[in-house]
Amino acid sequence: MGESRAAARDLEQALGIYRDLGDRLGQAYALRYLAAVRRATGEYPAAGQDLKQALSISRDLGNRFGQAWALLYQGIVRQATGEYPAAARDLEQALDISRDLGDRFGQAWALLYLAIVRRATGEYPAAARDLEQALGILRDLGHRGGEVQALNERGTLHRVTGDLAQAEGCHRQALALTRQIGSPSDEAHALAGLGRCALAAGHATRAQALLRQALEIFQRIGTAETGDLARELTVLTEAGPPA
């Protein structure tokens, strides 16, 4: 719902209760979700510390499911901070454990973020392969929120490889779906994706309008993408009169 501050407060309270009870499994769960919130709001060092604790607890308990998800989130944080080799190692470990456990949901998320890392490092065929696997699993599971993220990433991959028509189609699918499920962050990503497609096609006026819509949502919910998108818009505005 985009209520990151309230989510963090709830999770911190839950963590405190689990610690009072001596429930280490509960602590690991709370730390993982707290890290996810902090990653979304750009608090990367705090998220990393939470995940180190969660991973340590899961290993102490011999909880492989917990290990896989702590490694997954750790890979996501490292991807967000540009630590791509470390992110890929974490995500590959998470994928291997998830496959051993038969956790298809964990497999899908590990594949999705591996695709993001591989796209960022120019490994486009491998990114496309991982992304198609992730999207297939998420659709099989009926997880529409995950499907939206995979569609947005597929759009980004098509755009950076020069297929603007396919890219726009993916972002439009994502936008329609995200408005059905009510996910403001994913809606903003879809709008930003459409704006970048418009810019790549030479339609600067439309690009600015779409990017501003995305920025307004990111600002409202307080996500890490706000600063980068604001700078992107400033550069576009200063480049001259829109076409």
Residue 242, φ and ψ in degrees, nearest 5:
-70, 150
Q: Which of 116, 128, 115, 24 is nearest to 70 (CA)?
A: 24
Pick from 157, 168, 160, 164: which is nearest to 135 by CA? 157
Spatial distance between the Cα atoms of 54 and 74, rounded to a whole number of angstroms: 10
Which class does domain 150-243 fall in? mainly alpha
Query: Collapsing DSSP states into helix, strand and coil, what is residue 184?
Result: helix
Q: How many helices (H) and strands (E) does the chain have?
A: 12, 0
88, 110 in Cβ contact below 8 A?
Answer: no
SS3 (DSSP) at 202 = coil
- Residue ranges of domains in the chain: 150-243
Cα separation, 154 vs 110, in Å, equals 15
d(CA 219, CA 97): 36
Q: What is the pLDDT along the chain (243 residues), one digit of tens a residue?
A: 777 889 999 999 999 999 999 999 999 999 999 998 998 888 999 999 999 999 999 999 999 999 999 999 999 999 999 999 999 999 999 999 999 999 999 999 999 999 999 999 999 999 999 999 999 999 999 999 999 999 999 999 999 999 999 999 999 999 999 999 989 999 999 999 999 999 999 999 999 999 999 999 999 988 888 888 999 999 888 776 544
Q: For residues 174 and 183, what is the distance between their CA atoms, to the nearest angstrom?
A: 11
Asked if 167 and 153 count as a contact pair (C-beta separation under 8 A), the reply is: no
H/E element, 60 = helix 44-61
| pTM: predicted TM-score of the whole model, two decimal places | 0.89
Q: Which of 19, 81, 15, 70 is nearest to 45 (CA)?
A: 81
